[in-house]
Amino acid sequence: MEFDNSIYDDINVTPMLDVAYVLLIIFIIMTTATIQGIMVNLPQASAKPSMAESRTKAVSISADGQVYLETYPVTMDQLESLLGQYKAADPGLPVVVKADASIQYQKVVDVLDLVGRLEIKQLGLVTQNLVK
């Protein structure tokens, strides 16, 4: 029986790469599994626009602090009166607030307080989605 007494001058990295790939796959699967959250069966909507979209009222605040209901400039008193009328006609009135990023925070708080006083439960704040 002869033995090869030669010295190995290279290392076989294939088993080490196999382990690294398996760990990478496990990490990817575990990361995506935690992001997905709870599985729920979502209801189906029709392709036609819903009534909720047409009855939603938008309150906008421009960079100079001017408040708009839809596209019409209003004072805070006019805004309260008009939203009160819309709320009386539709108790589930949804309102979205869009404010310029450079305005004073107090102006947004004033509008949110007004919406709270009118007991409007469906409120949304519009932000810009940053895509990189």
Domain assignment of residue 36, yes or no: no
Q: Domain containing 115 — which CATH number?
A: 3.30.420.270
Domain assignment of residue 27, yes or no: no
Tens digits of per-residue pLDDT, 70-115? 888 999 999 999 999 999 988 888 998 888 888 888 888 999 999 9
Domain that holds residue 112: 51-125
Give the DSSP H or E segment for 33: helix 14-36
Domain assignment of residue 130, yes or no: no
Instruction: Read off the pTM.
Output: 0.56
Domain assignment of residue 18, yes or no: no
